[in-house]
Structure 1
Amino acid sequence: MKSNYDKENEQLWNLMGEVPAPEAPAGMRADFDAMLDNYKASLREKPRRLHAFLQHLKDLWHIQPRLQLGYGIALVLLAFGIGYITHRSFSGSNEQISQLSKQMQEMRNMVTLSLLENPSASERMRAVEYVNEAKKVDHKVAEALLTTLNNDPNVNVRLITLEALANLAVDPFVREGLVQSIVQQESPLVQSALADVMVKLQEKRSVKPLQKLLHKEDTNEAIKNKIQQSLLKLS
């Protein structure tokens, strides 16, 4: 559906089309063609410049990891800004937009990976929030999230990471990682939350790991009761 702006433009061009074209002076056509060729060349150059700029940022990211955290939020904002400009400048080229959009996602993934390694628990939780907003991650980010779930010293970070991974469980790699994580957890809170996730996903492969956790001597008695209930729901 055309906007008012598009309709007004169309009417203007239609009116201009009805105006008789004056006789062009000698040499004007050649000058116009040269100017048009220069303009087309500048348009072709824009995607290459943006691509080079993004590549430079990615190289800087890898060369100076200590600066990653300071640049994290700025890069995300920059990605949105360039994405907006790109959409305005190249709305007619789906291939160019797709390529630059992919690069934006790569930048976002790098920010997420960097924040997951931050000593601050709040920053690691911020990384998980980015994942929840994206709703789709690549293999590296999924692997980093599973590592966080299994090894993060902060229980709250583990719990919020588990929630994010449960939303990504359509990915077979994530689903398998969640099953394998059951026997690696020592926190009763995480053990209980994982049991709930397995029931929600109706993941039958989790039965054996849950049974193994059930028979561990150091498993909390309240959690054992919870696991028994979960096993009944999975049977």
Structure 2
Amino acid sequence: MNEEFDEIEKQLWEQLGKLPTPDPSQAMKPRFHAMLDTYKAEVEEKKASSLGLFFAKIKEVFVYKPSYNWAYAMVLILMSGAIGYFAGKPTNQAVADQNDVKQLSSEVQEMKEMMMLSMLENPTATERLKAVSYTQELNKVDDKVIDALLTTLNSDPNENVRLVTLEALVQLGNYPKVREGLVQSLMKQESPLVQVALADAMVKLQEKRSVKEFKQLLQKENLNKAVKGKIEKTIQVLS
């Protein structure tokens, strides 16, 4: 049976070999080149977007853990090195890679911001202090960062974290939202140390809108005497 099948298959291939080969149509060559151009374009597009996809994957899987600080630092070092590599190329190549440099810089900024926001939610006060310090490394600060810092100032259970956060916010005093948030924070603070630090901050920023809040604060029962004296002097300076 197998021999009979093999013989039939052999005859079939012999018959197929006798069939004439059709000449290619006139449209075949243009279609081939069009297909080739499309393939090249897709390859270039995937190549250009591969870097962005790589960083997107990092951000998707990144969840802050204290033990991963070394990994975060290593990523930033590698990314910073890549920026230096592109920036150090000859002029003609540097112009061509300008968009890559901007993208890398943006990714570094976003990762630092993401790291900071994640660390602010850490239950360890030391890690939250580190998070606040990262604001100095941000090229620019957006509303998410400002809101997170103000929330930390108003609600963090650790007094030292609140004091360091206040210092960071004072450095961002050129942002109207920060100034408004600091004024609103006056009535939310119970710690004498934070209240005194806020008074100094208002004087440093020359925020006269805080006078009204300070006067309300003076009406609080059981207000620390030292704090009361500080607030009265602050009102005189700002009035």
Structure 2 counterpart of 1:115, from 103, 115, 119: 119
Query: Which structure 1 residue ranges, 5 or more long, are not aligned?
Result: 1-40
1:163-193 CA distance string (max 9 Å, x none): 0000001111111111100100000000000
Whichever residue aligns with residue 227 of structure 2, its letter is I
Matched residue SS, 1:53:
helix
2:6 maps to none
**C-alpha distance in structure 2 between counterparts of 1:145 and 1:232, whole Å:** 29
1:186 partnered with 2:183: no
Query: Which structure 2 residue ranges, 5 or more long, are not aligned?
Result: 1-41, 88-93
**C-alpha distance in structure 1 between counterparts of 2:214 and 2:158, whole Å:** 22
Residues 152 and 162, structure 2, Cα contact 8 Å, conserved in 1 = yes
The more displaced of 83-92 and 196-205 is: 83-92
1:88 partnered with 2:85: yes
1:52 maps to 53
1:153 partnered with 2:157: yes
Taking structure 2 as the reference length, what is the TM-score of the superposition?
Answer: 0.74
2:71 maps to 74
1:61-95 CA distance string (max 9 Å, x none): 2xxx4x54443442243123123224314633222
**C-alpha distance in structure 1 between counterparts of 2:203 and 2:102, whole Å:** 38
Residues 109 and 139, structure 2, Cα contact 8 Å, conserved in 1 = no
Whichever residue aligns with residue 85 of structure 1, its letter is A
The more displaced of 96-105 and 67-76 is: 67-76
Q: Which structure is larger by alpha-carbon Rg, 1 or 2?
A: 2
Q: CA RMSD in A?
A: 2.1
1:127-181 CA distance string (max 9 Å, x none): 1111123363221111111000000011000000000000001111111111100
Whichever residue aligns with residue 82 of structure 1, its letter is M
Matched residue SS, 1:194:
helix
Label 1:87 to 1:48 Cα distance change in 2 as closer, same or farther (>3 A): farther
Structure 2 counterpart of 1:213, from 198, 214, 217: 217
**C-alpha distance in structure 2 between counterparts of 1:121 and 1:58, whole Å:** 24
Whichever residue aligns with residue 202 of structure 2, its letter is M
Whichever residue aligns with residue 196 of structure 1, its letter is D
Whichever residue aligns with residue 81 of structure 1, its letter is L
1:226 maps to 230
**C-alpha distance in structure 1 between counterparts of 2:222 and 2:48, whole Å:** 59
Structure 2 counterpart of 1:100, from 104, 109, 126: 104
The more displaced of 45-54 and 215-224 is: 45-54
Label 1:224 to 1:73 Cα distance change in 2 as closer, same or farther (>3 A): farther
Q: Residue 103 of structure 1: CA displacement?
A: 1.6
Q: Residue 45 of structure 1: CA displacement?
A: 6.1
**C-alpha distance in structure 1 between counterparts of 2:73 and 2:149, whole Å:** 19
